[in-house]
Amino acid sequence: MGGRINTNLSALFSSRQLNLTQATQDKILRRLASGFRINTAADDAAGLAISQRLEALSRGFEQSQANLQDSVSALQVAEGGISQTGETLQRIRELSLQAANDTLTDADRQIIQQEVNQLVQEIDRSTSSVEFNGQKLLSGQFSAANGGFTVQAGTNEGETISVAIDEVSSTTLGVNGLDVSTRSAASNALSTLDTAIERVSTQRARIGADRNRIQQATEFVGVARENTLAAQSRIRDADFANQVTKLAISQIKNQSGVAALAQSNIRSQNLLQLLG
């Protein structure tokens, strides 16, 4: 075998293999440090594109969950306000029944009328104070006629849930100016109050049904987000066991490459000994 010193082919080969091994080792170390299999587009261009789309989808699901949970909270506040109105109406009905009894005098009924007037005013005061994030829920702002209360329930345009919250006030309930000052007026007030109580009960039932629907939607979005994150993880996340195994192999190759390169350089130096 001839000996050449101008071109050390074995050293060139060893150097090239060592560079490749070190580049592979650097990539493995980046994956172990970040936890991601894909850190740059060069790692997996198609995988990165899919991963980015799944990332947008999972973040969208996360925000949709927050939207739905906020909407449930708003409906809880609205239902609480309507519930209190129902209790007030029940008290007014009790007073009307009392005033309809002929054992009371007109003077007694005037006293009852004063309490009824105060309770009617309380209905308007309490319902006007029912708000969520500064928005009055029982003012009619979110009634069906005004388009309702829109919940962005999905990740795309049009994936919404519409909830109607009708106005609740003494006027819409028909109890504004309720008269119980005479026996006949008090008797007639009972049917008006029954209608108002029925309306409040219907409104509460509708809100309860809407809450159940939104809670079901929240659970659906939660499952969809979990599945999306799982798919994204399979594409982008690094398999630590696999990467650690590759790192061990790479380290052995790196040590062998360094040793081979050293031997190649030594062979060239040995040729100089022929000069004596």
More confident residue, 203 or 233: 203
Of the candidate ranges 26-35, 108-117, 207-216, the one whose mean pLDDT is the lowest: 26-35
More confident residue, 144 or 92: 92
Q: Please tell me the predicted confidence (pLDDT) of residue 242.
A: 75
Instruction: Please write the tens of the pLDDT for every residue from 175-196.
Output: 999 999 999 999 999 999 999 9
Contact 130, 137 (CB under 8 A): yes
Contact 62, 243 (CB under 8 A): no
Taking Cα atoms as reference points, which of 98, 85, 121 lies closest to residue 181? 98
Distances (CA, A) of 115 to 96, 118, 121, 179, 181: 11, 5, 10, 11, 11
First to last CA, the chain: 20
Report the share of the chain in percent with pLDDT over 70: 90
* Single-letter amino acid code for the residue at 247: L
pTM for this one?
Answer: 0.76
Q: Domain extents for the chain?
A: 9-35+238-275, 55-222
CA 203, CA 271: separation in Å to the nearest integer? 100
Instruction: Please write the tens of the pLDDT for every residue from 214-230.
Output: 999 999 999 999 999 99
Contact 137, 95 (CB under 8 A): no
Report the share of the chain in percent with pLDDT over 90: 63
Q: In 3-state terms, what secondary structure has residue 131?
A: strand
CB atoms within 10 A of CB 146: 13
Instruction: Please write the tens of the pLDDT for every residue from 74-91.
Output: 999 999 999 999 999 999
Q: Name, in order, each residue with C-beta under 8 angstroms of 58's C-beta and a sequence gap of 6 or more.
A: 225, 228, 229, 232
Angle at 113 between CA 109 and CA 80, to 5 degrees: 135
Q: Please tell me the predicted confidence (pLDDT) of residue 12.
A: 74
Structure tokens given for 76:
């809880």
Alpha helices in the chain (DSSP H): 9-34, 45-99, 106-128, 170-173, 183-236, 240-271
Instruction: Please write the tens of the pLDDT for every residue from 43-82.
Output: 788 988 998 899 999 999 999 999 999 999 999 999 999 9
CA 255, CA 101: separation in Å to the nearest integer? 105
Domain 55-222: which topology?
f41 fragment of flagellin, N-terminal domain (1.20.1330)
- b/e 237-271 (16+ beta carbons within 10 angstroms → b): ebeeeebeebbeebeebbeebeebbeebeeebeee
User: Band of the pLDDT at 117, cuts 50, 70, 90?
Assistant: very high
Distances (CA, A) of 270 to 62, 264, 265, 274: 68, 10, 9, 8
Contact 228, 57 (CB under 8 A): yes
